[in-house]
Copies of this chain bind each other. A is one copy, B any other.
Amino acid sequence: MRELITPALAQQRILAALQTQPSETCALEQCAGRILRAPVVADRPFPPFDRSMMDGYAIRAAEIDRDGRFTIVTQAPAGAPAQQLGHQPQACAEIMTGAVLPADADCVVPYEQTRRIDSTQMQVLEPNQHAAGDCIHRLASDRPAGEALLTAGRRIGSREIAIAASCGCDHLVVSKKPSIAIVSTGDELVDIVATPAAHQIRRSNDIMIEAALQHFDLPAAQFAHLPDNAAASKAQLKALIADHDLVILSGGISMGKKDFIPDALDALGLDCQFHGVAQKPGKPLGFWSQPECAVFTLPGNPLSTLTCLHQYVIPALFHSLGQAAPTTPHTVSLDAGVRARDDLTIFLPVSLHANNIARPQPANNSGDLVRILQSDGYIELPPCKEKSYPAGKSFDFHPWH
């Protein structure tokens, strides 16, 4: 490791070094979860006509007299062209929600506020309760044609999909997904289906990283495992860096005798943006970059991998995808005092309870992932002189994915 830097500086260096992904055109039904890169413009006003908001009768409000009777002269179902009431006084149209208001009507009275007299007559029940404009969603009252409804940098969810569909966009310009390689290291690791010898454990960090990225619909393009051998690791790393936008390694980067990765990355010509962050867990975190590829070296203890993935890698990915604004944080309050450090930031697992209460769920150590099942996410405790934070203190909550 080199000199420890603060988590904030680490984040800053990552974001500064990352390239923005290029954009591509994508079929609308594949766009959920992606970041928009070109605006979606209203091709028609919203709504595109004077639209009835209720099922009932379209009338001219000024024609309501004390008796409130109207003659039904036409039907205005949704999906039919605009009707006319015509010149006959107290004419009305039976109208459906979503239908075009007859051009010479100015008010819709819902069924519930009328009484049907016979096949051609209805009566408005409370004649004084209705006025021009009632129950009408006016042409262009939400937005005029030509306005950008969705702007670049927005993450696309169900609402954005519906707006784009309304505007006739069956394709959108979105950020291309990065090509991601997930790389595990360490001779102590064996396959999931293997029966480990007493000194071995099964490989789990790579599939954990994959699962968290899948939550954001960012699939891994390749998996690799580096042996504890300098020359073989370097050759494999060279190929991975050439083929991918992002390489995420776990393990092999602390002070161990067999931790060749930092030397290999330096030798391959990547710039070390940092190696070592004043934080716990995850102190040996490193980040190397060149214009075409960024490499995260996550510490191999499972809780360190998990925490660094959530705190650094996922936000970096959304930054490189061009997301304009991160999600508004969920603020939580500690239900008990916690120990902090004066020299390190602590990422503390917490469980979430009613009224935004967070309960500390510290791990025994950063190898203890089982204990972390009791937490819902983590909070960030900055270093402080007092080496503690009291119950009631507020922090941003970061959920596990």
Contact = CB atoms under 8 A, between A and B. Distances in A.
Given A162-B302, A201-B166, A300-B97, A401 B157 contact: yes
Q: Count the copies.
A: 2
Interface string A276-307: 00000000000000000000000011100010
Contact of A192 (B143, B169, B258): B169
Contacts of A129: none
A149 B329 CA distance: 30
Task: Kindly name the residue among A166, A198, A301 whose own CB sees the greatest number of chain B CB atoms within 10 A.
Answer: A166
A198 B328 contact: no
B168 A193 contact: yes
Contacts of A55: 254-257, 259
A159 interface: yes
A354 B394 CA distance: 12
A211 interface: yes
B168 A202 contact: yes
B364 A215 contact: no
Interface of A: 28-29, 31-33, 44, 46-49, 51, 53, 55, 75, 77-82, 94, 96-100, 111-112, 137, 141-143, 149-150, 156-163, 165-170, 186-189, 192-205, 207-212, 214-215, 228, 251, 254-259, 300-302, 306, 309, 328-331, 352-356, 364-373, 376, 394, 400-401
A278 to B, nearest CB: 14
Contacts of A143: 370
B328 A137 contact: no
